[in-house]
Structure 1
Amino acid sequence: MTNNLDMFLPDDTFTFNHPPLNSSGDIYHTVALLLVLKHLGLPLPKVRVGYFDVPDGCFKTEGKLKATELHATRATSFASALGFDAQVQMIKVNLPRCVRINSRLKATREAIFREDSSAKVLDQKVSTGLLALIADHLGSTAVTDIIRTGFTTYASPLTTQLDAASKRWLDDEYEKVRKHAAPDAQIVIFHERLADNQNQNNSTGRAFDAIRKKIKALANVRQFTFRAGPAPTSWPNSSRSRAYGDCDETCSKGLTEHCVHQVRYLQLLARLKRELITHDGGSRFLGIYGSSSGTLDAPSFMGLRALSFHQFADGPHGRNESRRDTVRNAQDQREALMSCFKSVAAKTQRHKDAADIFAQWMAGSYEGLKLVATPSVDRVYTQVHTRPRKGRRSREVAKDIAGIDKKLCTLLRRCLTR
């Protein structure tokens, strides 16, 4: 089963660079890759998740931790719960002030080099391309089966007390969804996204209003919302199942710090798909939809049916439609690669388009975007950064991983044009 899979990876061990961010959703991509590599008996990369002491006004401070440290803690806690504490670790990044993402990437890379001067460092977005390559080689079902098992299984058994608390929480959340539907009604989950990071992809506006209106007109379909944040207690048919910090609702005092919210949320989604069935054994779980985010990518990696609306930057599907070039930034290219695991749609100014796309997706007839890949994808996804010589810019010393760039570029073209 592992024949030729090593051709996707560098000859030497490598390290993923997770720069300091005001979010932690990228960790689902790197941990998903770790699970697949481990299952196949392949070498595991290191993952370094950066954080820094931000000055006032850069990112919000949440509780006792600064924002980037909080999200780095969440990311590493998830990886540790699944058994990758040796591979995935936090790393402090030295930055004198709040800077843009490229400077944070560079500073994190320098911190990694201080830890290991001979490290081969890859942007964490490479993990998505490698997952897509492996899925193309093995088949997506084989890959999503591996990830679904890994995402929902703790590496070490929970204590009796914590296991009981977790099961109570799962039962309660499952019942909220089940009771919302009539015995044979179908359920679709709305994944709400409200974030400061990449806020152009928040799941708000007339397009999502139009989709909700479309669902209300369907006699045998119910929507349940997994909220991203607080809402009035009168908001029906919704839950903060995937939110942070809700462990104290079901866990006894003293257990809160051990609750890994990402694992329990993914366990809930897997249970919904597995147990929401009709009297004749058919599935009542239609899938999950929302705007692009790591917490929507996670169920996609598990093989759950998903529809993601993404705000592309430029080109015919982007905000700047006057730019008819096909160059995609790194985030747009990652979302395009995710079309190997989920249905991807472009956010548009016409809210009716979103409702029509949703209806096609529900019916199983949505074919996805027809985009054109560009030669730039191999530069974005397959750069290895070695220690730059004095006076040279890091991009001038970036070199491609032998053998990966051509394969990845070919795969991206296939994903985008199928």
Structure 2
Amino acid sequence: MFLPDDTFTFNHPPLNSSGDIYHTVALLLVLKHLGLPLPKVRVGYFDVPDGCFKTEGKLKATELHATRATSFASALGFDAQVQMIKVNLPRCVRINSRLKATREAIFREDSSAKVLDQKVSTGLLALIADHLGSTAVTDIIRTGFTTYASPLTTQLDAASKRWLDDEYEKVRKHAAPDAQIVIFHERLADNQNQNNSTGRAFDAIRKKIKALANVRQFTFRAGPAPTSWPNSSRSRAYGDCDETCSKGLTEHCVHQVRYLQLLARLKRELITHDGGSRFLGIYGSSSGTLDAPSFMGLRALSFHQFADGPHGRNESRRDTVRNAQDQREALMSCFKSVAAKTQRHKDAADIFAQWMAGSYEGLKLVATPSVDRVYTQVHTRPRKGRRSREVAKDIAGIDKKLCTLLRRCLTR
């Protein structure tokens, strides 16, 4: 369709997060449904020194997140495709160096590998949605995200259902029977913290919601709620262990699947007496955990801090340069509503009100003139004599397809 016919490998570098796996597994589900070849996926981790990334329990951060990512993929039946790979890095390095080091590890495993940056998964999903229609794609992903590849044990299945029932009841009872409910996905992370869901903009949105007579907000968060925020719950999308998740995080780790099952149930069962939907959708800052329900066809609004130039994030500049993460968020507008964060907190409240009313028209940004090469290049290591040097080659035609789609996303 858009990639070489032979097998390729996705490069997931060591990160202090695991949200990217939702994009990759979503693509695997769609490719499998369409009968297309499935890529290999290698999720990197490394033994970083103390102080580089935090350590959680016995696992270093990158190993913990790699374990979470592969466990999610395995629960959905992709354990053969998605595997961890150890990366040789003696010290903290920037993301480009981690990408290169992960490619080196992949080439050591398979010298003939054709390696792509995992970010290409978002671009490919957007192209497929543009080709087949977003509803067809989200139907495939929703079924796949909420269905275990193998039946759970009786004990695990019962515990998981109890959790789902309890969490659903918390949300359902939060408002009057005919009141509408919007979910706030709280993001508080050490990485990409410019996209955390904090500050005056989100305060303004909460104030807007409180002024609405028939709308209530329920918050999904990673940690325990402050005493002043009773209407919230841990999302269990972040690797928290309870009776349905073994302590080692390597077996039966089903918290991400269960979280997505809960969101699907909220959309399906939160209805009014006359059959209307009580579920308005989910909003928050850009994150992989917010992208997941978007891939399932749930109504979602994401606020993203876009770069306005190559040297930082300056709202006063109007350059057309957008980095790979910005382009990725723009391409996600095939699946969700995307808004740009600004310095004016009132803008966020106004956009939220438009989104609630169904009148938000989406991004209005200056279009980037070309796509980032992470979406277009396959890395190989052809054997030439006694030396082997990495080669990066563009995928024929994909840059033009993505550029056309990206322009539409940024200017519609």
User: TM-score if structure 1 supplies the norm length?
Assistant: 0.93
Deviation at 1:258, TM superposition (A): 1.9
* Structure 1 residues 245 and 25: CA distance shift in structure 2, 3 A: closer
Alignment pair present for 1:205 and 2:199: yes
* Structure 1 residues 251 and 169: CA distance shift in structure 2, 3 A: farther
* Structure 1 residues 209 and 393: CA distance shift in structure 2, 3 A: farther
Deviation at 1:386, TM superposition (A): 1.8
2:210 match: 216
Deviation at 1:253, TM superposition (A): 9.2
CA distance in 1, matches of 2:178, 2:371: 45
Deviation at 1:148, TM superposition (A): 0.2
2:295 match: 301
* Structure 1 residues 177 and 306: CA distance shift in structure 2, 3 A: same
* Structure 1 residues 396 and 166: CA distance shift in structure 2, 3 A: closer
Do 2:188 and 2:197's aligned partners in 1 also have CA atoms closer than 8 Å? yes
The one-character-per-residue Cα deviations of 1:127-148 (angstroms, maximum 9, x if unpaired) are: 0000000001110000000000
Do 1:132 and 1:337's aligned partners in 2 also have CA atoms closer than 8 Å? yes
Do 2:320 and 2:369's aligned partners in 1 also have CA atoms closer than 8 Å? no
Do 2:19 and 2:288's aligned partners in 1 also have CA atoms closer than 8 Å? yes
The one-character-per-residue Cα deviations of 1:66-90 (angstroms, maximum 9, x if unpaired) are: 0000000000000000000000000
Note the residue ranges of structure 2 that are not aligned, 5 or more in a row. none
* Structure 1 residues 219 and 33: CA distance shift in structure 2, 3 A: same
Deviation at 1:96, TM superposition (A): 1.0
* Structure 1 residues 395 and 411: CA distance shift in structure 2, 3 A: farther
Do 2:365 and 2:411's aligned partners in 1 also have CA atoms closer than 8 Å? yes
The one-character-per-residue Cα deviations of 1:312-345 (angstroms, maximum 9, x if unpaired) are: 1225998313432211111001000001110001
Worse overlay, 396-405 or 343-352: 396-405
Do 1:49 and 1:76's aligned partners in 2 also have CA atoms closer than 8 Å? yes
Deviation at 1:390, TM superposition (A): 10
Do 2:237 and 2:289's aligned partners in 1 also have CA atoms closer than 8 Å? no
1:152 match: 146
* Structure 1 residues 262 and 251: CA distance shift in structure 2, 3 A: closer
1:17-416 alignment to 2 at 5 Å?
17-233=11-227, 235-248=229-242, 257-315=251-309, 319-377=313-371, 379-387=373-381, 397-416=391-410
Do 1:266 and 1:299's aligned partners in 2 also have CA atoms closer than 8 Å? yes
Do 2:363 and 2:409's aligned partners in 1 also have CA atoms closer than 8 Å? no
Worse overlay, 208-217 or 395-404: 395-404
Do 1:300 and 1:341's aligned partners in 2 also have CA atoms closer than 8 Å? yes
The one-character-per-residue Cα deviations of 1:393-414 (angstroms, maximum 9, x if unpaired) are: 9999421111222111111112
* Structure 1 residues 131 and 225: CA distance shift in structure 2, 3 A: same
Deviation at 1:380, TM superposition (A): 3.4
Do 2:319 and 2:366's aligned partners in 1 also have CA atoms closer than 8 Å? no
The one-character-per-residue Cα deviations of 1:137-167 (angstroms, maximum 9, x if unpaired) are: 1100000000000000000011111111110
Worse overlay, 390-399 or 213-222: 390-399
Deviation at 1:95, TM superposition (A): 0.5
CA distance in 2, matches of 1:256, 1:276: 34
CA distance in 2, matches of 1:141, 1:42: 19
* Structure 1 residues 396 and 329: CA distance shift in structure 2, 3 A: farther
* Structure 1 residues 378 and 391: CA distance shift in structure 2, 3 A: farther
CA distance in 2, matches of 1:100, 1:416: 28
Worse overlay, 36-45 or 383-392: 383-392
Deviation at 1:246, TM superposition (A): 3.9
Note the residue ranges of structure 1 that are not aligned, 5 or more in a row. 1-6
* Structure 1 residues 391 and 102: CA distance shift in structure 2, 3 A: farther
Do 1:17 and 1:122's aligned partners in 2 also have CA atoms closer than 8 Å? yes
Question: Any idea what SS the aligned residue of 1:49 has?
Answer: strand
* Structure 1 residues 361 and 114: CA distance shift in structure 2, 3 A: same
How many residues are matched?
412
The one-character-per-residue Cα deviations of 1:84-126 (angstroms, maximum 9, x if unpaired) are: 0000000000011010000000000111111111111110000
Worse overlay, 336-345 or 400-409: 400-409
Deviation at 1:250, TM superposition (A): 6.2
Do 1:378 and 1:409's aligned partners in 2 also have CA atoms closer than 8 Å? no
The one-character-per-residue Cα deviations of 1:256-304 (angstroms, maximum 9, x if unpaired) are: 9524110000000000000000111111000000000000000000000
Do 1:50 and 1:92's aligned partners in 2 also have CA atoms closer than 8 Å? yes
CA distance in 2, matches of 1:233, 1:388: 59
Deviation at 1:373, TM superposition (A): 3.1
* Structure 1 residues 147 and 411: CA distance shift in structure 2, 3 A: same
Deviation at 1:415, TM superposition (A): 1.8
Do 2:43 and 2:84's aligned partners in 1 also have CA atoms closer than 8 Å? yes
* Structure 1 residues 395 and 29: CA distance shift in structure 2, 3 A: farther
Do 1:247 and 1:256's aligned partners in 2 also have CA atoms closer than 8 Å? no
Moved over 4 A (4+): 249-257, 315-318, 388-396
Do 1:19 and 1:108's aligned partners in 2 also have CA atoms closer than 8 Å? yes
Question: Any idea what SS the aligned residue of 1:8 has?
Answer: coil
* Structure 1 residues 217 and 258: CA distance shift in structure 2, 3 A: same
Deviation at 1:374, TM superposition (A): 2.9
Do 1:289 and 1:308's aligned partners in 2 also have CA atoms closer than 8 Å? yes
* Structure 1 residues 283 and 393: CA distance shift in structure 2, 3 A: farther
CA distance in 2, matches of 1:256, 1:124: 23
Percent of residue pairs bearing the same amino acid type: 100
CA distance in 2, matches of 1:394, 1:101: 23
Worse overlay, 249-258 or 195-204: 249-258
CA distance in 1, matches of 2:119, 2:140: 20
* Structure 1 residues 395 and 31: CA distance shift in structure 2, 3 A: farther
